[in-house]
Every structure is written in structure tokens, then in C-alpha cells.
Amino acid sequence: MRSLKYTMISREPTIERLAIAKALLLTPFGLDESHLSRALAEIKAHQVDEADLYFQYTRSEGWSLEEGIVKTGSFSIDQGVGVRAVSGEKTAFAYSDDISNASLLDAARTVRSISRAAQGAKTRLTRRKLAPARSLYPDLDPITTLDSNTKVELLGRVEKMARARDPRVVQVMAGLASEYDVVLVARADGTIAADVRPLVRLSLTVIAEQKGRREMGSAGGGGRFGLAYFDDAMITRYVDEAVGAALTNLESRPVPAGEMTVVLGPGWPGVLLHEAIGHGLEGDFNRKGSSAFSGRIGQRVAAKGVTVLDDGTIPDRRGSLNVDDEGYASQRNVLIEDGILKGYIQDSMNARLSGTVPTGNGRRESYAHVPMPRMTNTYMLGGDKVPAEIIASIQRGLYATNFGGGQVDITSGKFVFSASEAFWVEKGKILYPVKGATIVGNGPDALTRVTMIGNDMRLDSGVGVCGKEGQSVPVGVGQPTLRIDGLTVGGTA
């Protein structure tokens, strides 16, 4: 007698994500794709250039521990739909946390008023088509990957490990956050897209005290995966980084001020690249002529060897997306190549008005916000220099290995950043840690002052959050060790 074997046949990831999105965002409310088509047809009854519907379901959880006890535990669910119509540069937008056919049609009729009635305009939508997408991360709910007791135990383990590192550690604060985000996008051109986006983050802050002086060190990371990522090896790494930074800062001295050579470490210091360069390469600023990079495509904007990318396709990364918030597949966009400006990052509206194409960078904080061109994972490629060789080349200057806050003026390109961990270097030798260093410069000008590029390109650990026009989105940054000549350092000495 012949035995039969049965195998499970999984659906193609794009189809699977669409099924999950429909099950959460359409079916429970009596909706299907025909309702979406009717709502878009209502908008298209008036002449508009673009129209889309953006459905979102978000479940998030957070735990924080301080002084050995759980101080806060939070859990929230949010869902809703945003309806948008675009005509020229004008955008009409309405949103609702009530997902129903009635509210969908009401929002559609509201936003279609952006343009005059189109006499005899066709309202038939293009035949349905699935947006092409990648499978960059699992479609799991990270909140369910550990139970509540295990999450609390994890934070307790972090605290015990940090306190055991050194008796000077007097306070430990740790936090664990998880998010399950499901989106569904329907566009008037017939495209339908969906994404299931897990996101986790573990953060740690340590305060150390010595002879009445207190200093702080922080570490953490995360990405688009489950909480099992935070195993003992990863926790040990974060603890070592945070405690090490706090103890280093206890020995820090005032920093000399003036114009000098600055070497930036790999990884998170790429936040300076993100702020000082990346925002200036976003399509809206350049279309309006308000960026220091406007109208400079094809021109040299950086030293030879400087190549900057924005890449939303890196697996499991915090800034990565299978599709952006307009339903376009994420891309690997080369912005600057060997010092030459190659392009900008675009959403659909700014791409259309600029005569280019979307680059998979249309992003929004939630269904209650309009999309705009935003970065994903922005980084500079590595060069051929050994990091030790770069540090040894400094006659007198600053070696900055970690950054705190900063700000940039998009129009002028001027930036100010504070270094949370930095060292004073003379004649190629690291002499001592310094405190209170601020780095002042001009983004486009700073790129031309890059004189050495390390072979140690590294992405950050997965902690980046980018703010623009009141909207926050997760992002990634990265760079190799960089030597930049002639930056201004503001100090306390």
C-alpha cells in the first residue's frame, strides 16, 4: 500500500501580506476591493493627478525598568484610514479611525473638492495590479515572540549585568519596545500593496558616579524581527557599550575649541551624514529650490571616493520597507557617486512635478499623516584606509565615536552636532576623552573636506528615529571611519 505525503504550500510573500492586511483592515468592517475602487472612483470624478487610500493597523507595547523595578508597561492598538487626492502641488487629505464604507466614501467626497469638476471625466479605474515588493523581514507579530514575564526578566537581566560590571554604576534604566504594523495601500492607478512590519528595540542608559561626578552612557539596538534577537550575547554587547561609555566620560576633560581635523567613527556617527546631507537630498526641498543641493545633479558635491546611498532594501534593518507608504517597492538609490551628485529621493508627487520617478521613499508616520520624501537607511560606502591609519594621521584634532543631538538648516546646509563620546588626539595618539564637544559645519562643504575614508563601513545598531515636519519614522544610518579637515569644534576649554 502506497503512503501519501502532504506538504504545506506557502503563498508568495506579496500575496501573503495582502491576505493578512485584508483580514485585519477590510474583512472585519465588511469591506473588500470593490469598496476601495468605488471610493477612488468618487475622488476621480473630479480631475486629480493622484489619489490613494492608506489603511493601517498598529499594535504596540512598551516596558521600562528603573531602580530594579518595572516603572511602566504600556499596550495600545490604533487603526484607521487616510484618504488623499493630489492635483498639481495641492493635496487634500482626510483621515478617520472609523473604518467603514460610509466613512471611506465621506472622506473620498471631501478630498475630491481639491480640483474643479472634470466634465465627462472617466471614473473607471485601471485593472487591479499588485505592487512589486521584496520580502525583507518576517511577517510576524514581535509582541507575541516573548511572554510578559520573560520580557520583564530580560530587562532585569540587563540591569544586573550592568551593575555587576563596575561598582561605580549607580543607576540603570532599560526599555523594551515592540510594534506590529500592518498597512494596505490602494492607488487610483489600480495598484494595491500591503506590508507587515515588525519592529523591536532594546534601549539601555547607565549612570556612573566617581568622586561626586556623574556621567552617562547609552546603548541599544533593534530591527524588524522578533524579540529573540536580544539573546545573552547581544545584551552583553549593549551593557559593555553603555557602561564603557559612562566610565570613559568620568575621565573626560574640557575640549579645546577652534578649527581642526575631525575623525568620525563608524556606524552611528553616520547620523551627521543623515542630518547634514541626507535631508538636503530629499525631493521636496530640491524641487522647491530650498536645498543647498538644488539644481546640482551631475556636479561634484563631495570629495572623490565619497559615495552615499539611501537603501530601503537591506534585510531586517530598522529603516527598510518592503513597500513604501504609497505602495512603491523600496529601492537602493545611489545619491552621490564618487563625489558626483546622481539624484534625490522622491515620493510620487515630487517625482511627478520634477519629471522623475518615485524612488520608494514616500513615507508617513501613520494613516493620519500625508506622505513625503523621507530617508530609509542612509549611509556612505567604505574606502581603503585602515582606521588606525586615519587616527594616526591626526596631528591635533578630535576623534568622535558617538553623537547625541543635532540640527541642520536645509537651505544653508549649516549643522551643529554634539558628541556624546569623543577623544582628543595629538601626533596620532589618543590622549584622553573629552566632554562638551560640538561640531559645527556646512553639509555640502564638509563633504568636500573628506580626506580619508576607512574600510570599516558599519550600519548603526538599529535605534534611529527621523523627524520632519512633525512626523517621526524609523531610519537607519551608517558610515566608515572618516577624516574631515577644517571643521569647527566648539568646546569648553
pLDDT tens digit string along 208-238? Answer: 999 999 999 999 999 999 999 999 999 999 9
| Rounded CA separation 464/329 (Å) | 21
What pLDDT, on the 0 to 100 scale, is given for residue 123? 44
Instruction: Reply yes or no on whether the pLDDT at 446 is more than 60.
Output: yes
Percentage of the chain beyond pLDDT 90 is 85
Instruction: Reply yes or no on whether the pLDDT at 135 is more than 70.
Output: yes
What pLDDT, on the 0 to 100 scale, is given for residue 134? 83
The answer to whether 251 and 244 are in contact (CB under 8 A) is: no
What pLDDT, on the 0 to 100 scale, is given for residue 130? 79
C-alpha cell recorded at residue 105: 466614501
What average pLDDT is seen over the chain? 93
Average pLDDT over residues 360-382: 98
Instruction: Reply yes or no on whether the pLDDT at 8 is more than 70.
Output: no
Structure pTM?
Answer: 0.93
Instruction: Reply yes or no on whether the pLDDT at 407 is more than 90.
Output: no
Q: Taking each helix axis as running N to C, give the angle between helix 232-250 and helix 148-165, from 0 to 180 degrees, rounded to the nearest 10.
A: 40
What pLDDT, on the 0 to 100 scale, is given for residue 46? 84
What pLDDT, on the 0 to 100 scale, is given for residue 380? 98
- Cite the beta strand spans of 133-190 per DSSP E: 169-187
C-alpha cell recorded at residue 342: 546622481
By C-alpha distance, which of 203, 205, 59, 80 is closest to 140?
59
Instruction: Reply yes or no on whether the pLDDT at 163 is more than 80.
Output: yes
Instruction: Reply yes or no on whether the pLDDT at 116 is more than 60.
Output: no
Instruction: Reply yes or no on whether the pLDDT at 119 is more than 60.
Output: no
Instruction: Reply yes or no on whether the pLDDT at 6 is more than 50.
Output: no
Instruction: Reply yes or no on whether the pLDDT at 336 is more than 80.
Output: yes
Task: Name the band, by pLDDT with cuts 50, 70 and 90, for residue 294.
Answer: very high
Instruction: Reply yes or no on whether the pLDDT at 425 is more than 70.
Output: yes
SS3 at position 44: helix
What pLDDT, on the 0 to 100 scale, is given for residue 7? 45
Instruction: Reply yes or no on whether the pLDDT at 99 is more than 90.
Output: yes
By C-alpha distance, which of 236, 449, 263, 271 is closest to 377?
271
- Where do the H-state alpha helices sit in 73-147? 101-111
What pLDDT, on the 0 to 100 scale, is given for residue 375? 98
Task: Name the band, by pLDDT with cuts 50, 70 and 90, for residue 94.
Answer: very high
Instruction: Reply yes or no on whether the pLDDT at 128 is more than 80.
Output: no
Average pLDDT over residues 315-335: 97
Percentage of the chain beyond pLDDT 70 is 95
Phi/psi of residue 104, nearest 5 degrees: -65, -45
What pLDDT, on the 0 to 100 scale, is given for residue 121? 46
Instruction: Reply yes or no on whether the pLDDT at 175 is more than 50.
Output: yes
Task: Name the band, by pLDDT with cuts 50, 70 and 90, for residue 133.
Answer: confident
What pLDDT, on the 0 to 100 scale, is given for residue 45? 87
Give exposure, 345-364, as e/b (b: 16+ Cβ within 10 Å): bbbbbbbbbeeeebbbbbbb
What pLDDT, on the 0 to 100 scale, is given for residue 404? 84
Instruction: Reply yes or no on whether the pLDDT at 120 is more than 70.
Output: no
